Amino acid sequence: MLRRFVVLIALVLAPLAAQAALKPGAPTVIITGANRGIGLELARQYAARDWNVIATTRRKADDPGLADLRAIQAKHPQLVIERIDVSDTSTIRAVAEKYRDQPIDVLINNAANVEATFQADLDKVNTPFEKIDFDAARTDFDVNALGPMRMIQAFMPHVERSKQKKIVNITSFIGSFGRFGGDSAMGMNYGASKAALNMYSRKLSHAVKPKGIIVALMEPVLVASKPGVAGSNPMARPVEEEIAKLIKEIDGLTMERSGRITNWTTGEIDPF
């Protein structure tokens, strides 16, 4: 009788045991835009290293676009999926509140208002000045510059109480004055929004230095993160290779790199 009861209890609890949950004591990363591209690969590689991963996406739980993330979760139940639209403060605060007791070692602001294919990205960045749609431009600023700042404001207490205390903002040299971006008309809105992110990050690095928090800007050369990139340009590098390099740079971050732009493809400091 007792044996039957124990088996019954085990059967009832089995699905719970398989549920996704963060592991107490493991280092923790939170990633925005984790359902595809660079964010998805970050989630995959951090999960494979046994980190806790809070993989966030603006998509609803039943969206077919979450299949790749769910497949990673099936292998690594310490990856949890949460809904965050970085342009919507309430979605950010709800997740921050849910994990209020969870230290977060690394906050990666990866999401950006970019397209699902390289061709669509090119069409957008080649929009001439005369055809700028300023409502669309406002979305670029909202997602690419204000989105990371909203995340940082909400998750600062979680980062502050962690061991590693690292904030990583993914930028692009299209937003650089000193490297390519400033010498080309390409990507006016995208570039201006990333330049704003760069300045926010630099200023923030000074504000949080006394707390021992690092605010790093990271940019690649060109990552084959979506259909159409690979083969389009000899500089395009495979996403697995590039994200392994990015994680190595994040692992090695020190306060000297705070407020500066690290190019994770070359390992060098890039100009603003």
Ligand X SMILES: NC(=O)c1ccc[n+]([C@@H]2O[C@H](COP(=O)([O-])OP(=O)(O)OC[C@H]3O[C@@H](n4cnc5c(N)ncnc54)[C@H](OP(=O)(O)O)[C@@H]3O)[C@@H](O)[C@H]2O)c1
Residue number of the CB atom closest to ligand X = 37
Amino acid residing at 2: L
Considering the complex, state which of residue 150 and residue 158 has its C-beta at the smaller distance from ligand X: 150
CB atoms within 10 A of CB 60: 9
Considering the complex, state which of residue 33 and residue 103 has its C-beta at the smaller distance from ligand X: 33
Q: How far is the CB of 4 from ligand X (least distance, A)?
A: 48
Distance CA 125, CA 269 (A): 25
- What is each CA distance from 69 to 63, 147, 185, 193, 270, in whole angstroms? 11, 22, 36, 28, 32
Q: Degrees (nearest 5) of the Cα angle 114, 119, 122?
A: 65
Considering the complex, state which of residue 106 and residue 170 has its C-beta at the smaller distance from ligand X: 170
Considering the complex, state which of residue 7 and residue 139 has its C-beta at the smaller distance from ligand X: 139
Q: How far is the CB of 228 from ligand X (least distance, A)?
A: 11
Q: How far is the CB of 67 from ligand X (least distance, A)?
A: 12
- Identify the CA nearest to 114 among candidates 102, 123, 104: 123
Distance CA 248, CA 235 (A): 20
Q: How far is the CB of 264 from ligand X (least distance, A)?
A: 10
Considering the complex, state which of residue 63 and residue 251 has its C-beta at the smaller distance from ligand X: 63
Helices (H), 65-221: 67-75, 89-98, 118-125, 134-141, 147-160, 188-208
> Which residues in this chain contact ligand X in the complex, by CB under 6 A?
32-33, 35-39, 58-59, 65, 85-87, 110-114, 116, 143, 170, 172, 219-220, 222-223, 225-226
Q: How far is the CB of 56 from ligand X (least distance, A)?
A: 7
